[in-house]
């Protein structure tokens, strides 16, 4: 939804101004503008007005009177990146249980809402956005049916400020379809198979129960018998009605195959998350129109006999087969601490054959499309939200830095726990009588 000046004034009046600096109108002039949705514009102009992009074009774009002009010549302007698979905000320090909210006990928790437990002062949030990851999907990950996810901007006072879209998807973690024989698996093969069967049955039962519940409640609405609300099945209704996709987390061939069959049987829309073996089922995935959120490119092959670059080439192979895909990182605490490395997963895919422009789209426009927020995010286009980063070079190169960023039109602070500690200890008195050779952090520049 596009914001207008009236609603923005109203927001101001309500005191809901977000933490970062605010300018009603800003014009970024003179930089290389990378809309992602179209060709690069050299010496381009981008105008941000009331949180929205109001113009993207060449030097002849008119800058509105009173706008703050920021000269970004020699720099690059990109849309913010989007991480489509995280637990950001739910986990602070993974080994300290009091700071961990990503895994509930029990297998069937479709009614858990990630949105309600995001810690706005998590130190992990500024670290992610300092490298241009400005929007993320957060989901709980425990059990088989884990809950519903939220897409949010990494800036705001509360979860109500920053939510782009709630109830984005219902998350299913497909049970492992294979038995393990290593010393880390103490269960017998038979017990493992039983456990798998039980989990799949519980998942199928949950969908059947929810369908029966839906029918009963519809009948009640039509004057039939009373049927009590069940919060778990209630949470699944949008997925059953086809209004909310089911995100199925599955990496392995048999899991993916089972998930595709399940989607057909249950008549639900699914999105695959993980997808390491997806290239081996690419034709079917493409034919069935199932998008894939690739989890981790920087990974070792799953099997010792696979080519050494097996994980690097998943994106290329899916793209070549016409599968809708995007690239994300591991949806766990460790992955979230280093969301800043998202662009380098895309870069490795490009190094191994994914076209460079596709690699960039895989962390901007494509996740926006797959998550259903492309009307607002993912590219620099008039009418979209002003989530923008200014970089010293190609953001997929490690040696480039993000030196300015805006979220919903607000200039954000690029300082983090890490830059604060850096500045503190960079300035510690020296004992060698020399001057520092180090540059200040981008937040200080």
- The reply to whether 223 sits near other proteins by the rule CB under 8 A is no
Candidates 77-85, 147-155, 197-205, 343-351; binding stretch for other proteins (CB under 8 A): 343-351
CB of 25 to other proteins, least distance (A): 32
How far is the CA of 87 from the CAs of 103, 104, 318, in angstroms? 10, 13, 25
Interface with other proteins in residues 231-290 (CB under 8 A): 252-254, 280
How many Cβ atoms are within 10 Å of 138's Cβ, its own excluded?
25
- The reply to whether 438 sits near other proteins by the rule CB under 8 A is yes
Interface with other proteins in residues 127-186 (CB under 8 A): 176-184
* Nearest C-alpha neighbor of 86 from the set 36, 121, 129, 130: 129
Among 14, 66, 225, 304, binds other proteins (CB under 8 A): 304
How many Cβ atoms are within 10 Å of 99's Cβ, its own excluded?
14
- 339 and 136 in contact (C-beta within 8 Å)? yes
- The reply to whether 333 sits near other proteins by the rule CB under 8 A is yes
Among 299, 363, 373, 389, binds other proteins (CB under 8 A): 299
Residue 249 host element (H or E): strand 246-250
Residue carrying the six token digits 């990503």: 102
Candidates 63-71, 166-174, 344-352, 374-382; binding stretch for other proteins (CB under 8 A): 344-352
| No. of helices (H) and no. of strands (E), the chain | 13, 18
Task: Closer to other proteins by CB, 223 or 307: give it.
Answer: 307
Among 189, 261, 288, 444, binds other proteins (CB under 8 A): 189
Tokens in use for 306?
Answer: 């696979």
CA–CA–CA angle 24, 30, 36 (5° rounding) = 80
Among 5, 16, 421, 444, binds other proteins (CB under 8 A): 421
356 phi and psi angles, rounded to 5 deg: -55, -40
Tokens in use for 416?
Answer: 């983090």
Among 37, 111, 266, 400, binds other proteins (CB under 8 A): 400
* Nearest C-alpha neighbor of 376 from the set 367, 362, 390, 386: 386
CB of 224 to other proteins, least distance (A): 46
How far is the CA of 285 from the CAs of 246, 322, 330, in angstroms? 15, 9, 21
How far is the CA of 437 from the CAs of 158, 200, 422, 423, 430, in angstroms? 40, 58, 14, 13, 12
- The reply to whether 418 sits near other proteins by the rule CB under 8 A is yes
Which class for 232: exposed (0-12), middle (13-18), buried (19 or more C-beta within 10 A)? Answer: middle
Candidates 112-120, 142-150, 233-241, 335-343; binding stretch for other proteins (CB under 8 A): 335-343
Counting residues that bind other proteins (by CB under 8 A) gives 67
CA–CA–CA angle 316, 318, 324 (5° rounding) = 120
CB of 438 to other proteins, least distance (A): 5
- The reply to whether 358 sits near other proteins by the rule CB under 8 A is no
Among 188, 201, 300, 382, binds other proteins (CB under 8 A): 300
Among 96, 221, 229, 231, binds other proteins (CB under 8 A): 96
CB of 294 to other proteins, least distance (A): 15
Candidates 9-17, 152-160, 221-229, 301-309; binding stretch for other proteins (CB under 8 A): 301-309
Among 25, 61, 75, 94, binds other proteins (CB under 8 A): 94
CB of 34 to other proteins, least distance (A): 16
- 29 and 63 in contact (C-beta within 8 Å)? yes
The DSSP output letter for 284 is H
Candidates 203-211, 265-273, 304-312, 364-372; binding stretch for other proteins (CB under 8 A): 304-312
Site of interaction with other proteins (CB under 8 A) = 92-96, 123-124, 176-184, 189, 252-254, 280, 298-305, 307-309, 333-334, 337-338, 340-341, 344, 347-348, 350-352, 356, 396-401, 417-419, 421-422, 425-426, 428, 430-432, 436-439, 441
């Amino acid at each position: 939804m596009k914001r207008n000046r009236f609603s923005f004034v109203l927001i101001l009046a309500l005191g809901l101004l977000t933490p970062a600096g605010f300018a009603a109108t800003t014009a970024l002039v003179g930089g290389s503008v990378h809309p992602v949705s179209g060709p690069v514009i050299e010496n381009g102009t981008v105008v941000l007005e009331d949180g929205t992009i109001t113009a993207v074009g060449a030097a002849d774009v008119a800058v509105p009177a009173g706008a703050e002009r920021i000269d970004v010549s020699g720099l690059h302007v990109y849309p913010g990146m989007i991480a489509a698979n995280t637990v950001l905000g739910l986990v602070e320090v993974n080994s300290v249980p009091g700071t961990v909210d990503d895994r509930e006990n029990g297998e069937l928790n479709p009614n858990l809402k990630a949105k309600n437990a995001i810690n706005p002062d998590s130190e992990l949030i500024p670290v992610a956005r300092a490298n241009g990851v400005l929007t993320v999907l957060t989901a709980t990950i425990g059990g088989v049916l884990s809950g519903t996810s939220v897409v949010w901007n990494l800036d705001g006072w509360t979860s109500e400020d920053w939510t782009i879209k709630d109830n984005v998807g219902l998350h299913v973690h497909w049970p492992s379809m294979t038995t393990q024989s290593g010393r880390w698996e103490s269960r017998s093969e038979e017990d493992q198979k039983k456990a798998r069967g039980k989990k799949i049955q519980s998942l199928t039962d949950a969908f059947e129960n929810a369908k029966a519940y839906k029918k009963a409640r519809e009948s009640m609405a039509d004057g039939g018998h009373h049927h009590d609300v069940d919060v778990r099945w209630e949470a699944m209704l949008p997925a059953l009605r086809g209004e909310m996709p089911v995100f199925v987390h599955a990496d392995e061939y048999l899991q993916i195959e089972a998930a595709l069959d399940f989607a057909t049987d249950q008549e639900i829309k699914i999105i695959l998350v993980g997808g390491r073996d997806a290239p081996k089922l690419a034709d079917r995935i493409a034919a069935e129109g199932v998008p894939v959120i690739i989890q981790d490119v920087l990974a070792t092959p799953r099997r010792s006999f696979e080519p050494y670059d097996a994980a690097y080439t998943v994106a290329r192979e899916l793209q070549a087969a016409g599968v809708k895909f995007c690239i994300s990182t591991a949806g766990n605490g460790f992955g979230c601490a280093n969301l800043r490395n998202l662009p380098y997963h895309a870069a490795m895919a490009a190094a191994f054959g994914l076209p460079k422009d596709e690699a960039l789209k895989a962390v901007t426009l494509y996740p926006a499309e797959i998550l259903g927020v492309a009307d607002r995010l993912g590219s620099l286009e008039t009418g979209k939200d002003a989530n923008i980063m200014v970089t010293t070079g190609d953001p997929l190169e490690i040696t480039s830095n993000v030196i300015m960023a805006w979220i919903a039109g607000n200039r954000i602070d690029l300082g983090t726990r890490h830059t604060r500690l850096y500045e503190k200890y960079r300035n510690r008195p020296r004992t060698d009588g020399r001057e520092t050779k180090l540059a200040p952090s981008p937040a200080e520049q």
